[in-house]
Chain A
Amino acid sequence: MVPDDRKYTEEHEWVRVEDEDGQQIGTVGVTEFAAGELGDVVFVELPEVGSEYSQKDPAGTIESVKAVADLFLPVSGEVVEINQAVVDNPELVNSDPLEEGWLVKVKLVEPGELDELLDASAYSRLLEG
């Protein structure tokens, strides 16, 4: 499933931006495809709240039984919230990567970066190709 309420990266992450009190907050997660490729997720390492990253920086890791994948932030900004539920129950990344399995929330500093990302149909084309 590739919902169109968000943008995607070639590394199979998604970001959904909402306006909160005039701030652009991006919720970041991995796609169903990524979760499938990883297999059973066993451990998630997320960045510290308050830390700052640039677009495409590795900010954490997602560990499954067979691989460790870097989490690359699709947008630059400050981490304002992390999903403790996923830290406690890494299986959420497999069962619901698009909603309950969200990973971090980032306060955007460069909203223009969103234009560089893939929209739902471009990402779907990437998966087919």
Chain B
Amino acid sequence: MPYVPHGPGDIRAMLEVIGRDDISDLFSHLPDDVKLQRPLDLPAGLSEEEVRRYFLGVAARNHGQGELVSFLGGGVYDCIIPAAVDVLSSRSEFLTAYTPYQPEVSQGTLQAIYEWQSYVCRLTGMPVANASMYDGATALAEALAVAVAARRRDRVILPGTLNPRYARVVRTLLGERGIELATAPAGSDGTTDVEALAGMLDDRTGAVVVTNPNYLGLVEPVARMGEIIKTAGAALVAVVNPVSLSVLMTPAEYGADLVVGEAQPFGMPASWGGPLLGFLACSDAYKRRIPGRIVGRTRDNRDQEGYVLTLQTREQHIRREKATSNICSNQGLNALRATIYLSMLGTEGYRELGEANLVRVTALRRRVARTAGASLPYDGPVFNETVVRLERGTAAGFIRFARGHGVLAGISLDGFPGCGSGDLLVAVTEKRTAGEIAAWGDLLQRYLDDDAQEQP
């Protein structure tokens, strides 16, 4: 039997020690009216080789970002995964280790998480960060819950330019906590209408979300938003792409109280959207209120420096129903991957990563500007994602056409506020080459020209 070491001799000897005749005796106390009276109706176990063959077959029926040239974003990005990240994170010592509740035998995990927390602080400009959250969306919901509880208010304002998947998760997770959710509209430039937001702020508003860049890839008017939010006495909860922090203003600089986001691009495969890596950082005032695990540095009984999980009383296993959230596991192994990735970058590498994204999205935008039948509806600065508007056909039609040529052209924005069926969200990461961007542009031109157009 796979993975179970026991041979018949072992079982016999152990049953003798227990004083039973047969393994089935160990289950005879289960009531007959609930016992399963037949074997499980599952196929017989496969050998390891057959398991591999099954999954190779499964993989062969899929077509991922390795095979196709991907311009997909929307929260998950095609990133480089250095070999060192895979090799180090697959070591037994990290892969199979348990949660570091016994610090004396977990300093590897604990120091790595402390380093991750430190990296998050340096990227965001905030002084405190936790050991990670499931993903950016749930991290946002959790941060908002913390903010309104701390302020003892019951209203949250979300920007209309927030990733709609995140908005859904926030609405679901906060829906039962008596928190009113309002949405600030976007202006014609695709970013949050600051005047409208100012009009919405009141003394019931506990938190306002600032998303930078926003779902359309645009840099938001964060400095002005920060000012009015602060004046209103609400918490500023920023949700950001951590890759963009290589060049964009840090949330600390525009007055954030809590910062969350999705760190998948730091060395995590897309994996059809999970597992991901949420991060959560905050100002000092919130450090005893944030959920999740957190590692602190301290000394041991031999007066050596070491690390330990701390501020654990906030977590569910002590506060139980009074806990600020029910989060138990974090994304330990993914936080390790991101830490290794960031150490591979260093200061220069991180800056280069940011510039690489900017250069490539600029190249794509220039190509669109030269493409008859397409336009760039928004002029504001972007980081690595941008909206392309098709004057003919539809975004969905172009996506299908490009797919037929081995390219994942983008995400249709049909249904997103302010967008229509001709709008496409295109991400251009450091993985894309000039040739690939040019080929994307060629496909766009061909689609827009009549003879290439299919039924939308």
Contacts and interface: CB of A to CB of B under 8 A. Distances in A.
- Are A and B in direct contact (Cβ within 8 Å)? yes
Contacts of A65: 312-313
A41 to B, nearest CB: 11
B288 A67 contact: no
Contacts of B318: 66-68
Identify whether the interface residues of A are mostly helix, strand, loop, or mixed.
Answer: strand
A64 interface: yes
A124 to B, nearest CB: 29
Nearest to B314: A68
B319 interface: yes
Contacts of B288: 43, 63
A30 B312 CA distance: 22
A59 to B, nearest CB: 14
Contacts of B312: 65
A64 B310 CA distance: 11
A68 B321 CA distance: 12
Nearest to A63: B313
B29 interface: no
A63 B322 CA distance: 13
15 contacts: A43-B288, A63-B288, A63-B313, A64-B313, A65-B312, A65-B313, A66-B313, A66-B318, A67-B313, A67-B318, A68-B313, A68-B314, A68-B318, A68-B319, A68-B322
Contacts of B319: 68
A63 B312 CA distance: 10
Lowest 8 A-B CB distances belong to which pairs? A68-B313, A63-B313, A67-B318, A68-B319, A67-B313, A43-B288, A66-B318, A68-B318
Interface in B81-97: none
Q: Quick one: which of B288, B313, B322 has the most chain A CB within 10 A? A: B313
Interface in A60-80: 63-68
B276 to A, nearest CB: 30
Identify whether the interface residues of B are mostly helix, strand, loop, or mixed.
Answer: helix
Given A64-B313, A68-B322, 11 more contacts: A43-B288, A63-B288, A65-B312, A65-B313, A66-B313, A66-B318, A67-B313, A67-B318, A68-B313, A68-B314, A68-B318
Interface in A22-45: 43
A66 B313 CA distance: 6
Interface string B288-331: 10000000000000000000000011100011001000000000
Nearest to B323: A68
A68 B289 CA distance: 12
Contacts of A64: 313
Interface in B248-297: 288
Nearest to A43: B288
Interface string A80-115: 000000000000000000000000000000000000
Contacts of B322: 68
A63 B311 CA distance: 9
A65 B319 CA distance: 12
B427 to A, nearest CB: 43
Contacts of A68: 313-314, 318-319, 322
A10 to B, nearest CB: 19
A44 B313 CA distance: 13
B347 to A, nearest CB: 35
Contacts of B313: 63-68
Nearest to B319: A68
Contacts of B314: 68
Contacts of A66: 313, 318
A99 B312 CA distance: 29
A61 B448 CA distance: 65
A128 to B, nearest CB: 28
A64 B322 CA distance: 15
A115 B313 CA distance: 35
A86 B312 CA distance: 21
B128 to A, nearest CB: 14
B243 to A, nearest CB: 35
A103 B322 CA distance: 22
Nearest to B313: A68
Contacts of A43: 288
B246 to A, nearest CB: 36
